[in-house]
Structure 1
Amino acid sequence: MILNNCYHCGQHIEKGELVLQSIKGVEHSFCCHGCAGVCDAIHEAGMESFYKRTIEGDLLSPPPPPSKDATFFDYDEVQAQYVSKLTSKREITLISEAIHCAACIWLIEHTLAKMDGVLLAKVNFTNKQIKLRWDNDKIKLSEIIQKLNKVGYDATPYDASASQKAFRKANRDLLYRLGFAGFAMMNVMWFSVALYTGADQESLFRNYFHWIEFIIATTVILYSAKPFFQGAMTSLKSRTIGMDVSISLGVITTYLYSFWVTIDSSHPGEVYFDTMVDFIFLLLIGRYIEAISKNKAVDATRRLVELQPKVARLKTEDGFEVVSVTRLKKKDLVIVKPGDQIPVDGLVISGTGNVDEAMLSGESTEVFKQEGTKVSAGTINIDGSLTIEVDAIMQETMLGKIVEMVEEAQGAKASIQCTAERIMPWFVTVIISLSVLSFLYWIVEANLETAMIAATSVLIITCPCAFGLATPMATAVASGVSASHGILIKNGALLEVLNEVNHFVFDKTGTLTKGQMKLVDSHVVEGIEDKDALLKDIYRVEFHSEHSLAKAVCQSLHSMYSDLANKNLELDFFQAHPGRGVEARYHGQHYLLGTATWLKQYDIEMPDIFVSLEAERAEKGQTSVWVALDNKIVAILFLEDELRPDALELISRLKEKGKSVTLLSGDRYAVAKTVAEKLGGMEVIAEVLPEDKHEKIKQIQASGSRVAMVGDGINDAPALVRSDVGFALGSGTDISMDSADIVLLNNELISIDTAVELSARTLRTIKQNIASSIIYNFTLVPLAMAATLTPLIAAVTMPLSSLIVIGNAARIRTFFSKRAIAKRKRRRQEAM
């Protein structure tokens, strides 16, 4: 069976390049011997259902040339760059730019699963990566790569820079098509304006402008609209009908009818090349925004990798040597100086110091490290010099595992199918059927011209402009207006998903709390007459410390005593004791501020009342700082992480809406429970390791819930990606914002409830748009089928339906009007 398009990849077969080959007794056309060989290999492997699984989207790429250097990757020296452990069981990440749809995932995973020695093959569609685990004693990596090559997929070990280059190339191609369509749109409109303002009255000008518009529109169809036609061909090939089929049908029908009017100078009809070009330009804008969003999805993992230090100070007999982290081995010793990032996961062999682990734990308080304690790569050594024994590097570190979890979650996250796309196959099928019936009826009852006019009128009047704009217009307006009010929605389609979310999960530190310690209480011993003077002396001492608790004490005391701003804060002596406290002398008085354990080493007696008070406050998550003056306890300070001012109101609103609420924290259970109680009570999951957070989200989803995760730290990134909708605070890390779907730029928790209400409003608008489009079609399609509407009238009414959709979508802007905000506040107050 000879076709113009290749049976395997769907590409057009150029003249003289036709290849005919029999596959399972049936002759098929191919564009090259490579496609023929791939198709034969797929059928021989019993994977022919691959072609039925191909969904709407880009056409398949022609198979890559056979890899000549695949055996190069069998050498251990080469694999060491990509494989963490060179044992018999190995794991690597491959990348293939030929992966483009769910059918590709199915084919790759099933093909590799049949190979003896392949232990795991998992494809991540988002970043086109293949996670591979194999037994190197049974099968070589080159054999696996060659097998993938045989079924049409290039595969090489993943390299971050190469991946980014491929993404940029694809985006650039789409941007060129968009730019060309925009340029064509601006030019074709000049001629359309001329025709609409009277040039069509003169046949010479009319024909001249029609032909110029025809040339411009033809170039747009051949270049800019190519992705839609490719998607439509693939869709029809797989026996499905999607948005691209409807779009292509409307474009081609409008183009052919306009061409008919152009070549028949006596035809009374009008051309609609301008409408067609405008439509393609608007659709390409949506495709380009979608591509940018997809690139953002993999950007978080790239930036996580960049957080890992690339060099380390390897301890030697003569001191140290600066080497690449990849050269380090287990049991090597590295030196980390104050201010450095720790390059490896390992054990402190000597030295003491405070380490900022906020990027992994989310907790703002530094952690004291000493001999025998563990440290993690990427965390920051604040003070003190540490000698660390290497336990894990690169992918094997905790940070590396977080990267892996984010990538895994990206691959597991279901793609979003909007309301219009679910209805579109039925809509298009019915319209095509009605158009064909109209043509058949009128060609029998009247003539070819009447039949053509009736069929064309049906297709033009039901062009999916209004239907296709129903969802994107509503989500675009909602995304735009929310961004101007501090809520950045990266993917407007997620507003539909957010409306279905019934379970909200919150991180504690930095999300429900501010992530900043504050002095909440202070007690002095009996006999201290001037408490204010003592607190000012404490400020003087803590002012010289770099510890986060000292800064919190100073900030709180500064707000209490404004005169501290102009005070001379010099001391006679000051020394910081990492992990213990600070020591100072001033006007002959000796001050010690720090932990109770440290002060006991000076044989200082601890008042029983303060000891009991410390134990009581510790249960509530408060941190204590003891103050000794001349070896006697004079005061105790209590610091606590403050709740965000709008946290209680948000939790209350979500509960009123019937949403389940969970607090997910790595902190102690008693501390998390105290926070939950202050917020009116909620389920508490505490003492969770950073790498386990996304598993908790997965478990909640397994129970049937649609989950929204709210976080702000790097440790929240896998959970944010794993959730159905991820929220990140604007004050959080760049990684959390890249991993989230919605970023609260205004840093207000209450905006989550606003986003939930906006999603409900948007979904309601989408349904209204779809309903108006259906009503419009039910009203006018019968008239078009009866041949009472000309294509001109059809083309005039078609944009009216689009204008109705656009106008209704624009009403979403009123969601943030003063009147609407006041109305929502009154409704909430009445509910309370």
Structure 2
Amino acid sequence: MSQADQHCDHCHLPLPEGEDISATINNQKMHFCCYGCKTVCETIYGAGMDGFYQRLSYQQDIDGDILKPPPEINSELEVYDLDEVQGEFVDALGDIREIHLLVEGIHCAACVWLIERSLDNATGVIQGNVNLSAKKLHLKWDNRETKLSAILHTLGQIGYAAVPFDPEAAEGQIKKHNRQLLFRLGFAGFAAMNLMWISIALYTGADEGQFKELFYWLGLGLATPTLIYSGYPFYRGAITGLINRHLTMDLPIAIGATITYLYSCYVVIIGSEIAHVYFDTVVNFIFVILTGRYLEAMSKRLAVQSTQRLLDLQPKISTLIIGDETKIVPVRALQKGDKVLVKAGEKIPVDGVIIKGESVVDESMLTGEFVPMAKFIGDSVSAGTTNKEGVLTVEVSRTLKNTALGKIIHLVDEAQATKAPIQCTADRVIPWFVSITLILATVTFLFWLTVDFELALMAATSVLIITCPCAFGLATPMAIAVATGVGARMGVLVKHGAVLEILSSIKHFVFDKTGTLTQGKMLVSTLFYAALEQDEQPILRKIEPDEQLLERLSKKEKQLLSLASYLESHSEHMIAKAIVNFAQCYSLTRNELNNSAELEHIKVTSGSGISASYQGKKLAIGSLLWIRQMAGDLAVWPQLEAQVQEYQLSGSTVIYAWLENESICAYVVEDKVRDNAVDIVAQMKAQNFAVTLLSGDKQEVADYMANKLGIDEVIAEVMPDEKDQVIQQKQQQGHLIAMVGDGINDAPALVRADVGIAMGSGTDVSIDSADIILVNGELEKIPLAAELSRATLKTIKQNIGISIVYNIIMVPLAMAAMITPLVAAVAMPLSSLLVIGNAARLRWRFKNR
């Protein structure tokens, strides 16, 4: 194997040709691409941390992309203190550093509180914000005072394993966690089904027969492994919370399950004639809660996937120009000042400046506007955008994290990290609820202990069972579960249930323009035609497309429109496709008009248009300036320009088709407003919602669109990071904001907003970044979603009231020993059933919507 085919033993990049940089380390000769890699490798081996290389899975996929090392490292955390390693994850290697960490073991808001509180007391930590949905920690620390490995050790001591965040590895970790949770859920479900038959036998008279003890021991045999295996997460969470002096949701679950289990064991062992066993209650309790946690965990993968989709937009390889030769290299190997070759149809790998060539570049992923932009020498281009036509030579100005795309990815991560976790009423009350429950159970036991031990145990157990916070815990998630189901049926997908609670309080909606309030596709709306007969004043004719269009066109008009569409069929431009589609729709194609003449000398002029020869005459279609240069001074120009000016001011694009000495035609191409957009905006304003139009388009175009829609506030000419800043500024003014968008450029704003709403017809990135998706892109679903959110919040409050009233009535009865554990076990699910039934009313309310 030649040296050119080898890779650096440290960073795995190709070795430079004609230069041998090597060293003998651990009796093995190693080769490096530079002296920096050689020094780092020697340092790592010299420190005895060569296990670092054993954990690197350097592979090369079919695209030539060098994959990042997996972060699943449970020991040797000191490796993460190396700048060469941190460079993959840290924004800037200065004294003050920031990093995103993937944290395993997070499952509730109490975990967030515990992690952030522990980090507040850690030396050198400036800030630590946990994103509950993505299980990510945004950490800012002073590298002079503490090392990253020390912070990771601190997190490990409180029960949370953390590693630098990598989207692919993070998604794998979440899948692993969900799979383990599913196994525990399946085991509990198996035990619950079998215990059901035992319970039916006991409740129908077997508890008084000769097989009573057999059934009891069978129940014990099923409940014990279920409590140990399926109940392990609850015990771990409860113990961790107690160690750190914080009551979590896991504590009442662990107490209720343990006391009920121990009491049932007591009954089995002593063989009481008056007492009953409640192994089925233990198992069913665990099964129901695990089911809820598994469904919640499934939604946590979405945050990771949105970041991964953004990363997928970054090209993985590039064509590096070295002298007169080219070489395929990974994008991460590029440096500022390098020159790369970008062919037609390829994505631009980095931010840079064109030094050779001209083309049309699709920048819709950044601007949201789908009309490609003409690019010439000296113009800037951005990573992830698509070169549509010509061949470009680009000089690299920014790479990876510093590119416009990289900044969008950073904004999404930052917005996710700074969005505070939702603390529902139940979570805030649970610690007090648990404390009061324990006190009441203890008081009950001590009071009845003077009368009878078994009576005291039964009464105390009844208090624990009947006050078990099932109904209280189900109050919020049950209403949200029903509401999300109702929303899905109506075409409103809610990705995070708590979003409905926030949406109910929102009174300010911010709309993107293109693809949200408009249809998101170019259409020919109007035509202007003039015959260029010699010695005659050309007459300009306005043509509105309708069902009788073909009948109203003259032979020459049909000829020009069919030739123009045939010529445009040689272009991949968005507007060209609109003209071709228009011709096909109205049967104006060359074949349907029996026009068999061929076009010759077809030539594409980047940023201007396309031209050809037809029967010895020039045929061209393109921009006004370009056509005027070829056609010269025509008498019709002043009249034509005056007619199309109104359309241009409204944001429409005007393209001109010209056949030498024959005719000229102006196509008005526009992105039309959605049919019901005006009515929806009026409806929202009538309901006292504030509506803002936020667009990357020109100010005059946005003003025209806002006036047409009846929107009062307009913010135009904003880039993706500026959209994010606009949302943040409005939030700082005390407003709760809902952002509605459909493009990649909307992703940071969608995540930053209190509620992000994406059109189902939009890009995958915007959909993944949003909290609510309108499946069919129907704007009328937005007010409906707001109504659903208000109804959901009302139902949540009703459910909480039901659970409180239930406890106010039943707890005194249990303390008075008027309720046995058996009755308590039956009564306890009744409160849950009431909550479930009340939540189900949401289905009936929106049944015909």
Aligned length: 741
Matches within 5 A, 1:200-211: 200-202=207-209, 204-211=210-217
Question: Do structure 1's residue 187 and structure 2's residue 194 form an aligned pair?
Answer: yes
Instruction: Measure how far apart 1:737 and its partner are.
Output: 1.3
The residue identity in structure 2 corresponding to 1:514 is Q
> Which deviates further from its counterpart, 787-796 or 610-619?
610-619
Residue 559 of structure 1 aligns with which residue? Answer: 585
Q: 1:198, CA displacement in angstroms?
A: 4.0
Deviation at 1:274, TM superposition (A): 1.6
CA deviation profile, 1:743-784 (whole Å, cap 9, x unmatched): 112221211222111111111222222222222222222222
Q: Distance in 1 between matches of 2:662 and 2:595?
A: 23
Give the direction of change, closer, same or farther, for the CA distance of 1:771–1:396 in structure 2 (3 Å limit): same
* Partners of 1:593 and 1:563 in 2: CA distance: 16
Does the alignment pair 1:572 with 2:615?
no
Distance 1:156 1:424 in 2: 31
1:128 — aligned with what? Answer: 136
Quick one: which of 209, 212, 221 aligns to 1:215?
221
Q: Name the residue aligned to 2:99.
A: 93
- TM-score, normalised to structure 2, is 0.81
Secondary structure at 1:708 match in 2? strand
Measure, in 1, the Cα distance between the counterparts of 2:711 and 2:75: 62
1:403 to 406, 409, 430: 409
Partner Cα separation in structure 2 for residue 696 and residue 665 of structure 1: 11
**Pairwise mapping of residues 626-775 of structure 1 onto structure 2 (< 5 A)?**
626-630=656-660, 634-775=664-805
Matching residue of 1:498: 503
| Residues 223-273 of structure 1, C-alpha deviations (whole Å, 9 max, x = no match) | 211222333334444554443333233323332332333234333333222
Contact kept? 2:318, 2:340, Cα under 8 Å: yes
Matches for 1:164-183 after TM superposition, within 5 Å: 164-183=171-190
Supply the distance in 1 between the matched residues of 2:595 and 2:142 (Cα, whole angstroms).
65
Partner secondary structure for residue 636 of structure 1: strand
Question: Structure 1 491/538 Cα, relative in aligned 2: closer, same or farther at 3 Å?
Answer: same
Check conservation: 1:663, 1:676, Cα contact below 8 A: yes
What is the DSSP-based 3-state SS (H/G/I as helix, E as strand, rest coil) of the residue aligned with 2:672?
Answer: strand
Structure 2 counterpart of 1:439: 445
Counterpart of 1:321 in structure 2: which amino acid? K
| C-alpha spacing 1:463/1:129, structure 2 compared with 1 (3 Å) | closer
Q: Give the Å deviation of 1:728.
A: 1.2
1:251 aligns with 2:281: no
Written as runs of structure 1 = structure 2, the 5 A alignment for 1:300-699 is 300-444=306-450, 446-525=451-530, 526-527=538-539, 530=554, 531=557, 534-561=560-587, 566=592, 571-573=598-600, 574-605=602-633, 607-630=637-660, 634-699=664-729
Shift in CA distance, 596/738, structure 1 to aligned 2, threshold 3 Å: same
Question: Is residue 289 of structure 1 aligned with residue 295 of structure 2?
Answer: yes
Q: SS state of the match for residue 680, structure 2?
A: helix
Residue 68 of structure 1 deviates from its aligned partner by 5.5
1:416-435 deviation digits (Å, cap 9, x = unpaired) = 12233234344444443333
Distance 1:146 1:767, change over 3 A: closer
For the residue of structure 1 that corresponds to 2:519, the secondary structure is strand
Of 145, 148, 151, 1:145 maps to: 148
Question: 1:567 & 1:104 partners in 2: Cα distance?
Answer: 73
Q: Give the Cα–Cα distance (whole angstroms) in 2 for the partners of residues 68 and 223 of structure 1.
A: 34
Is 1:790 aligned to residue 820 of structure 2?
yes
Could you say if the C-alpha distance between residues 492 and 159 of structure 1 is closer, same or farther in structure 2, counting changes exceeding 3 Å?
closer
Deviation at 1:815, TM superposition (A): 3.4
Deviation at 1:394? 0.9
Q: Counterparts of 2:344 and 2:619 in 1: how far apart (Å)?
A: 25
Comparing 790-799 with 354-363, greater Cα deviation is found at 790-799
Whole-Å separation in 1 of the counterparts to 2:204 and 2:322: 85
CA RMSD of aligned residues (A): 2.8
Q: Rate the CA distance shift 1:151–1:472 in 2: closer, same or farther, 3 A.
A: closer
What is the Cα deviation at residue 632 of structure 1? Answer: 6.8
Cα 1:434–1:68 change in 2 (3 A) is closer
The CA deviation at 1:439 is: 2.8
Query: Per the alignment, in what secondary structure is the counterpart of residue 602 of structure 1?
Result: helix
Q: CA deviation at 1:127?
A: 4.6
> Could you tell me which residue of structure 1 aligns to residue 843 of structure 2?
813
CA deviation after TM superposition for structure 1 residue 601, in Å:
1.8
> Residue 625 of structure 2 aligns to a residue in which SS?
helix
Matched AA of 2:844: T
Corresponding position of 1:56: none
SS at 2:758's partner residue? Answer: strand
Q: In the superposition, relative to structure 1, how do residues 175 and 82 fare at CA in structure 2: closer, same or farther (>3 Å)? A: same
- 1:688-718 Cα distance to aligned partner (Å, 9 max, x none): 1112221111111111111111111111111
Question: 1:310 and 1:267 mapped to 2: Cα distance?
Answer: 73
Deviations along 1:648-697, whole A, 9 cap, x unmatched? 23222322222221111111111111221121123111111112221111
Alpha-carbon distance in 2 for matches of 1:647, 1:286: 38
Read off the aligned partner of 1:794 and give its amino acid letter. A
Identical positions, percent: 45
1:558-617 deviations in Å (ceiling 9; x for gaps): 334488884567532333322111223445553221111111222522511222333332
Q: Which runs of 5+ in 2 are unaligned?
A: 1-72, 107-111, 531-537, 542-552
What residue number does 2:66 align with? none
Residue 121 of structure 1: how far off its partner (Å):
5.7
Contact kept, 8 Å, 1:504 with 1:710, in 2: the verdict is yes
Structure 1 residue 189: Cα displacement: 2.1
| Counterparts of 2:595 and 2:791, CA distance in 1 | 57
Deviation at 1:633, TM superposition (A): 6.1
Structure 1 pair 666–569 and aligned structure 2 pair: CA distance change class (3 A): farther
2-structure distance, mates of 1:563, 1:353: 28
Alignment of 1:261-272 (within 5 A): 261-272=267-278
Q: TM-score, normalised by structure 1?
A: 0.83
